Chain A
Amino acid sequence: MNIAHLLEQAGHLAGRQAVGRPRPIDLRRAVSAAYYAVFHTLTEAGAARLHTDATTRHLLSRTFDHRTMKDAARQFANKSGKLWLFAVATFGSVPQELVRVAELFIKLQEARHQANYDRRTASNFSRAVCQLRVTDARNLIRAWEAVRGTPQAQFFLLALLLKDLGRFAD
């Protein structure tokens, strides 16, 4: 998956350069593409953490579950819960950039759910918020690049993948 292309597509669909009102479907697709750019960034990083073979990495990246990822991200964003406490106790601290990754991931995932499943006119997106979501996706990836080599980020990746990791993080 080419992350840069997904971000480029999201930016294009949400772009302000277009004349007239954007079509609601284009704005919804922009939000969805922005989310999938960060989803694939994190799942590919998680799969690469576990295996070096390309075919196996692809298989592993498909095992990530949106709900499990969100539950883990929520603990980091809220700075609470077993996963967060384990990370702080084990590593001493958690980089602020990683907290930002978690927070933006939750916001983008919720927006993607609205974009894909809430068809009400009242739930259409403004172009302004679509541009914000695309910016959020870019900033998430930038923040991720800043911390991805840290042990805290590597633990975060495992937490995104393993649904029950929190049960054992006492």
Chain B
Amino acid sequence: MTATKPTTDDDLRAAVAELPKLPWLAADFVGADCRIGDDHDGYPSVWVRLIAKDATVERPGFFDEFRLTSDRVCEHLRDAGVLGDRFMFDDLITETELREMLEDIANEHRALA
């Protein structure tokens, strides 16, 4: 019998980082990252954030379509064996919004320094 190598948080992070290379995501998303932890009730969870092109979210029907995209991402990570017993929460941000958010955080740090 061959022992299955246990997956780690790093395996999950690596699989998420590779998501935008998938053909069915590449046209609309430029990046992906994740946060691993527990939800507010203590259940093991992962928040997978897809970084969308600005134009992507302007497309009519995009937010309805995204539910199926999220399902597919979850299946992909489960099939890759990296999700474990974590519940996958989806997160979404555009390139511009991400840049603005990082600026806000940097400004906050400068103000506190």
A106 near B: Cβ within 8 Å?
Answer: yes
Query: Of A40-48, A53-61, A120-128, A150-158, which binds chain B?
Result: A120-128
Measured between beta carbons, the chain B residues less than 8 angstroms from A134 are 63
**Total interface residues on B, using CB and 8 Å?**
26
Main secondary structure of the interface of A (DSSP, over half): helix
A132 touches B43 (CB 8 A): no
Number of residue pairs A-B, CB distance < 8 angstroms: 60
User: A67-B41, A113-B40, A136-B67 are known contacts. Are A128 and B87 too (CB-CB below 8 A)?
Assistant: no
B105 touches A126 (CB 8 A): no
Closest to A136 in B: B67
Interface residues of A toward B: which range? Answer: 20 to 34
Q: Given the complex of chains A and B, what is the CA–CA distance between A8 and B64 in angstroms?
A: 17
User: A121-B105, A121-B108, A135-B63 are known contacts. Are A128 and B97 too (CB-CB below 8 A)?
Assistant: yes
B93 touches A129 (CB 8 A): yes
- Which A residues contact B (CB, under 8 angstroms)? 16, 21, 67, 70-71, 74, 77-78, 106-107, 110-111, 113-114, 117, 121-122, 124, 126-129, 131-132, 134-136, 139
- Which B residues contact A (CB, under 8 angstroms)? 39-41, 43, 45, 52, 57-58, 63-64, 66-67, 87, 89-94, 97-98, 100-101, 104-105, 108
